[in-house]
């Protein structure tokens, strides 16, 4: 299968696409044919669609950020990430705010990917977090890699509810449920990708 171009949404901005009038006003839009794209993608969504993004959690262009690398694997989006000592709340334990940022950004990319696929678009819409709730179930060790997993639980044409987990050594240490929405021209985040 041939992959879609990496940059250049309908308005010329990498990774952003404009919603048509019926989409912007919440009307159901018929499903578009899917763009051929492999279901298992080794290149991260961030590197492919937003290489200049400076987001603290997921921006490849932020040298001081977390720099998540979310990848599509079947029907979920996954990310393996290695904490560093400055991400700790105290020795050996990952900071809860960092856990939240990881789950937020990874879930946001899961929503963007899903909305892109659902619309049959070559680029994901710019999406933002409308609501998210994190449950810290166990302390997350900071001396080993963690794995993020996320899936879509509900969606419309311009928003998706995502369920995500953070795991360490196969143990779920945190969960998240969030709502992520595609934004329109005029929103401050519209051009961020």
Give one word for 15, left, alpha or beta, with left for phi > 0 and alpha for psi -120 to 50.
left
In sequence order, the β-bridge partners of residue 178 are 132, 162
Sketch the domain layout of the chain as residue ranges. Answer: 74-182
User: Rounded CA gap, 6 and 15, in Å?
Assistant: 8
CA–CA–CA angle 32, 69, 146 (5° rounding): 120
User: Rounded CA gap, 34 and 18, in Å?
Assistant: 18
User: Rounded CA gap, 85 and 83, in Å?
Assistant: 7
Residue-level pLDDT at 190: 84
The whole model's pTM is what? 0.80
**How many C-beta atoms lie closer than 10 Å to residue 64's C-beta?**
9
User: Rounded CA gap, 89 and 30, in Å?
Assistant: 47
CATH fold, domain 74-182, is Thiol Ester Dehydrase; Chain A (3.10.129)
Sequence-ordered list of residues with C-beta below 8 angstroms from that of 190, at least 6 positions apart, any chain: 16, 126, 183, 184
CA–CA–CA angle 184, 125, 43 (5° rounding): 155
For residue 99, give the 3-state DSSP assignment.
helix
Pick out the chain residues at pLDDT < 50. Answer: 1-38
Residue-level pLDDT at 24: 36
């Amino acid at each position: 299968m041939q992959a879609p171009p990496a940059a250049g949404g309908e308005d010329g901005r990498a990774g952003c696409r404009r919603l048509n009038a019926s989409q912007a006003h919440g009307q159901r839009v018929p499903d578009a044919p899917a763009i051929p794209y492999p279901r298992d993608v080794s290149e991260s969504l961030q590197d492919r669609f937003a290489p200049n993004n400076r987001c603290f959690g997921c921006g490849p262009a932020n040298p001081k950020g977390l720099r998540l690398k979310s990848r599509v694997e079947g029907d979920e989006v996954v990310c393996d990430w290695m904490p560093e000592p400055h991400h700790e709340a105290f020795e050996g334990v990952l900071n809860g705010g960092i856990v939240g940022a990881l789950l937020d950004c990874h879930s946001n990319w899961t929503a963007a990917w899903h909305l892109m696929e659902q619309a049959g678009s070559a680029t994901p819409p710019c999406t933002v977090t409308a609501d998210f709730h994190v449950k810290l179930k166990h302390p997350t060790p900071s001396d080993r890699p963690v794995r993020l997993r996320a899936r879509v639980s509900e969606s419309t044409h311009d928003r998706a509810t995502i369920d995500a987990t953070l795991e360490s050594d196969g143990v779920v240490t945190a969960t998240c449920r969030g709502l992520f929405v595609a934004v329109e021209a005029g929103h401050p985040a519209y051009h961020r990708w």
